Amino acid sequence: MIERAAAALFDLERRRMMEERMLTFIHSFDSEKPAYLDALERYAKETNVPIIRPQMQSLLRLLVTWGRPVQILEVGTAIGFSALLMSEYAPKGCHITTIEKYEKRIPLAKENFEKAGKSDCITLLEGDAAEILASMKQDGAFDLIFMDAAKGQYIHFLPDIRRLLSPTGLLVSDNILQDGELMESKYAVIRRNRTIHNRMRAYLYELTHCEELETTILPIADGVALSAKRSAQTGKEMGDKKE
């Protein structure tokens, strides 16, 4: 019994080390980011500011380069790293609108946009994301929407996010697996995290069962969901099949 348990632990550790080696190997092929983004990433690590992980950075760079969005909406600015990253790979003329509530980070984000010479193409909206999203009138205007705010609020943002997303747009939802905690029963989650756990599960259910959206969930970084609007004809066919 003890030997089997020890063998299982050894195998688990071996897999963890292999995963780390794989990630290191994969990221060794990443093209270099601008120096100011590397410096900003180091600052975030030193000051414990959460920013997107390297795998998510690579995916976001690809999506922006491939999709060539003209209008991007980001929910959750932090210190501006993701917005700046997207601005580096977006087409000329792209405008990024980003929303942040945390007052201590807003001046830092603005300063970082200014230093990078990106203030003209990035607009920071200050305040509660739910209120700002509800007040926005640009129905169907955004080609890419990046969700990276308070995870327990994703489900509340979704109706306005769907309204604002272009018919050919892409919704990118980051941190949807909560470091694997989302796979656990809510009773295995510490009590203070159960509300977020329940809301994030509800969010994923809504994304994957909404007739308007086609969603895939990728187990990279801390989990990411990619959602695209179905065409009107496809949505009608889906509804007909259910009937």
- Closest by Cα among 218, 73, 30, 177 to 41: 30
For the chain, give the percent of residues with pLDDT over 70: 76
Cβ contacts of 222 within 8 Å, gap of 6 or more: 53, 56, 174, 175, 176, 177, 178, 179
Q: So where are the chain's domains?
A: 53-242
What is the per-residue pLDDT across 100-114, written as a single tens digit (0 to 9) for each? 999 999 999 999 999
Architecture field, domain 53-242 = 3-Layer(aba) Sandwich (3.40)
Find residue 126's DSSP bridge partners.
Answer: 100
Q: Look at residue 208 and tell me whether its pLDDT is greater than 70.
A: yes
**Tokens 């970082």, residue?**
112
Lowest mean pLDDT among 73-82, 148-157, 176-185: 176-185
- Residue 107, pLDDT score: 97
**Tokens 């801390």, residue?**
222
Q: What is the mean pLDDT of residues 159-167?
A: 98
- Residue 76, pLDDT score: 97
Please say whether the beta carbons of 55 and 218 come within 8 A: no
pLDDT band at 120 (very low <50, low <70, confident <90, very high): very high
Average pLDDT over the chain, rounded to an integer: 86
Bigger pLDDT: 56 or 199?
A: 56
Q: Look at residue 238 and tell me whether its pLDDT is greater than 60.
A: no
Please say whether the beta carbons of 124 and 113 come within 8 A: yes
Bigger pLDDT: 234 or 35?
A: 35
pLDDT band at 150 (very low <50, low <70, confident <90, very high): confident
pLDDT band at 235 (very low <50, low <70, confident <90, very high): very low
- Residue 201, pLDDT score: 86
Bigger pLDDT: 212 or 189?
A: 212
pLDDT band at 182 (very low <50, low <70, confident <90, very high): low
- Residue 12, pLDDT score: 61
Q: Look at residue 149 and tell me whether its pLDDT is greater than 50.
A: yes
Q: Look at residue 188 and tell me whether its pLDDT is greater than 70.
A: no
Helices (H) and strands (E) in the chain, counts: 9, 7
